Amino acid sequence: DQQVKQNSPSLSVQEGRISILNCDYTNSMFDYFLWYKKYPAEGPTFLISISSIKDKNEDGRFTVFLNKSAKHLSLHIVPSQPGDSAVYFCAASARSGGSNYKLTFGKGTLLTVNP
């Protein structure tokens, strides 16, 4: 039972355009969401997060949007750069549910930004 779903295994965009990566979740106890980025042969690195009390968090070129009613979040990268090419993992945790340290990850989306 996948509690965090990334339904697009891959996404290809042109340099300078917007990249939109999507993530859906099923567990209504999740109240904190994160995106991790992973380059080949490296471990995942934290990118950006959002608490369920917000609907948007922005950090430079990266913005995460959260739609709690739809149990959906998205990561926007504007403008996209070739160095953004990586696997992006969506992750969630239930901070108020006693298991606040456990991250549940999606399967990841491979983003390719073409020059």
Tell me, by CB under 8 A, how many residues bind other proteins: 27
* Contacting residue, 12, 28, 67, 99, with other proteins by CB under 8 A: 99
* Under rule CB under 8 A, residue 64 binds other proteins: no
Q: How far is the CB of 21 from other proteins (least distance, A)?
A: 13
**Distance between CA atoms of 28 and 41, rounded to whole angstroms?**
33
The correct pick among 80, 93, 111, 113 for binding other proteins (CB under 8 A) is: 93
Q: Which is nearer to other proteins, 17 or 102 (CB)?
A: 102
Q: Of 84, 104, 103, 91, which is closest to residue 38 (Cα–Cα)? A: 84
Asked if 75 interacts with other proteins (CB under 8 A), we say no
**Strand 86-94 to 109-114 pairing:** antiparallel
105 binds other proteins (CB under 8 A): yes
Binding flag, residue 33, other proteins (CB under 8 A): yes
DSSP 50-102: EETT-SEEEETTEEEEEETTTTEEEEEESS--GGG-EEEEEEEEEGGGTEEEE
Residue 17 structure tokens: 């355009």
- Residues in the site for other proteins, rule: CB under 8 A? 4, 32-34, 36, 41-46, 49, 89, 91-93, 95, 99-108
